[in-house]
Amino acid sequence: MRLLRALHDPADDERAVATPGTTLSRHDLLGRAAALAAELRGVPMAAVHAVPGAPTVVAVTAGLLAGVPIVPVPPDAGDVERAHILRDSGAAVMLSDDPEAAGQSGLPVVPVSGPGRGTVPAEPDAGAPALVLYTSGTTGAPKGVVLSRRAIAAGLDALAEAWQWTAGDTLVHGLPLYHVHGLVLGVLGALRTGSRLVHTGRPTPQAYAQAGGSLYFGVPTVWSRVCAASQEARALRGARLLVSGSAPLPVPVFDDLAALTGHAPVERYGMTETLITVSARADGERRAGHVGLPVAGVETRLAGDSGEPLTADGATIGQLEVRGATLFDGYLRPDGTAAAPLTADGWFRTGDVATIGADGWHRIVGRASTDLIKTGGYRVGAGEVEDALLAHPAVREAAVIGTPHPDLGEQVTAFVVADGRPDPGELAAFVAARLAAHKRPRVVRLVAELPRNAMGKVQKARLKA
């Protein structure tokens, strides 16, 4: 079966992709991509200058048609990051309409936009690599994650079922086109389900309000800004589903979004290596601070520090492990320094810590390296403390980490962006009144902003430093 099956439907030539300044029907997109695919014949790996627009959609589609693995390169990547991705991946060409990309990449540049139309090649093998996506590199140099066509299809079909995502939807987002969220879900998902795609260029509240979609994707920063623009937020009442991912959605933002739009957002969880594995359902309950249940074809479990199985009781915090059809094929060039990503019985160690309730609902505590704080013999999840801080009327943002303490091992330390200058002791007491005493921050630091990456995730390693 074709990966981008909706793209090949001759009975449906409606608008497929709309980006600022460009609208493509399925017929146009298929023709342009097929012509570019012919130029890629024999290329082992192709990089794409992943600007937020139609050229990236055409280039990625062409690679998938040709069976050539695609490496998306962030358009704002620094020289060192770009050079590492291109060298490590072994990309032979750069697909781009930007003349400056030639000098930046050092590779032969193949223009994306051309007048020709080509013959659609035969569908590549389902097990063939489709994408090589580079991780954020929080534990060293970014690693290339190899995703097969089969894994992408399984992941998108599971989400289509969970979110009741159909060809009748119009998907709206303005996310970067070099990550799972914006590219795999936000572009390939539309070309597989047949839904229309409106990419807004930037994910502003105004652009979202004007798009008239039924299905919206955003990261917590996007939804926080939507909530701050109440008129634009209310314009989303006509939508069917609002989906949040890539980072935990703060409970106050969940509540505000539900109140303003009439839609409690669907949260989901995944990684580059696993695609989306856990999600709330379109026709089911949504719980603030929780990401839902495993999607079709995925299993999850909790393990202790020594790999022992842990109880799914909603309170026990453990390392989250997953297995299923959505897992990656491996790293392009394993460095041999990190712990093996797979257990002996085939489960992927996510590196995240979570709780799983008796009813199967998952709550992600965060990364084991930064969000599980071991203090005085207790295990404290940073997210729970952050949610408590965000309930304070003066607190706009909060990030909690463990820092060294001579007696406790680690102490709970909070970095807070707040209106005015609330007393740090008052904030610690505010948490202590809501959570167990050992979970209160012993140190509260008021800061002007929190360091974030392009997807809105707080970079806690920088806070630790």
Could you tell me the CATH number of the domain that includes residue 396? 3.30.300.30
pLDDT at 357: 97
CB 62 within 8 A of CB 56: no
- In angstroms, rounded to a whole number, what is the distance separating the alpha carbons of residues 431 and 230? 28
Please name which of 385, 383, 365, 268 lies closest in space to residue 317, comparing C-alpha atoms: 365
Strands 409-418 and 443-446: parallel
- Crossing angle of helices 54-66 and 26-39, rounded to 10°: 60
* Angle made by CA atoms 330, 53, 140, in degrees to the nearest 5: 35
The pLDDT > 90 percentage for the chain reads 70
Q: What is the 3-state secondary structure (H, E, C) of 300-322?
A: EEEECCCCCECCCCCCCCEEEEE
Find tokens 């223009």 and name the residue.
Answer: 111
- In angstroms, rounded to a whole number, what is the distance separating the alpha carbons of residues 113 and 450? 39
For residue 73, give both structure tokens: 């390169």
pLDDT at 99: 76
pLDDT winner (highest mean) among 108-117, 259-268, 364-373 = 259-268
Residue 420 belongs to a domain: yes
- Crossing angle of helices 220-228 and 251-261, rounded to 10°: 50
Residue 276 belongs to a domain: no
Q: Is 36 exposed, middle or buried (0-12, 13-18, 19+ CB in 10 A)?
A: buried
Q: Which residues pair with 46 in a beta bridge?
A: 70, 93
| SS3 state of residue 46 | strand
Please name which of 370, 384, 444, 394 lies closest in space to residue 414, comparing C-alpha atoms: 444
Residue-wise pLDDT tens digits, 300-351: 999 998 889 999 999 999 999 999 999 999 999 876 444 558 898 999 999 9
Residue type for 197, please? L
What is the distance of C-alpha 200 from the center of its chain?
17
10: CB partners within 8 A, 6+ apart: none
Please name which of 126, 92, 95 lies closest in space to residue 113, comparing C-alpha atoms: 95
Q: Is 354 exposed, middle or buried (0-12, 13-18, 19+ CB in 10 A)?
A: buried
pLDDT at 13: 62
Q: Which domain holds residue 391?
A: 372-464
- pLDDT: is 144 or 11 the higher one? 144
Residue 384 belongs to a domain: yes
Residue-wise pLDDT tens digits, 86-95: 999 999 999 9
CB 53 within 8 A of CB 112: no
Residue 440 belongs to a domain: yes
Residues in the chain: 465
Residue type for 25, please? S
Residue-wise pLDDT tens digits, 381-419: 888 899 889 999 999 999 999 998 887 888 999 999 999
Residue 347 belongs to a domain: no
Residue 197 belongs to a domain: no
Residue 125 belongs to a domain: no
Please name which of 222, 220, 227, 199 lies closest in space to residue 211, comparing C-alpha atoms: 199
- In angstroms, rounded to a whole number, what is the distance separating the alpha carbons of residues 235 and 250? 22
Please name which of 231, 236, 230, 113 lies closest in space to residue 173, comparing C-alpha atoms: 236
CB atoms inside a 10 Å sphere around CB 340: 9
Residue-wise pLDDT tens digits, 174-196: 999 999 999 999 999 999 999 99
Q: Is the pLDDT of residue 23 over 80?
A: yes
Q: What are the CA-CA distances from residue 297 to residues 148, 154, 159, 309 (Å)?
A: 16, 8, 11, 21
- In angstroms, rounded to a whole number, what is the distance separating the alpha carbons of residues 101 and 84? 15
Q: Is 75 exposed, middle or buried (0-12, 13-18, 19+ CB in 10 A)?
A: buried
Residue-wise pLDDT tens digits, 33-50: 999 999 999 999 999 999
Residue 443 belongs to a domain: yes
pTM: 0.86
CB 455 within 8 A of CB 219: yes
E strand segments, 280-420: 293-294, 298-303, 318-324, 330-331, 348-356, 362-367, 372-375, 378-381, 395-405, 409-418
- pLDDT: is 68 or 454 the higher one? 68
CB 65 within 8 A of CB 121: yes
- Give the pLDDT band (50/70/90) at residue 252: confident
Element containing residue 251 per DSSP (H, E): helix 251-261
pLDDT at 170: 97
The pLDDT > 70 percentage for the chain reads 96
Total number of domains in the chain: 1
DSSP string, 99-155: HHHHHHH-S-EE-S--S---PPPPPPPTTSEEEEEE---TTSS--EEEEEHHHHHHH
| SS3 state of residue 18 | strand
Mean pLDDT of the chain: 91
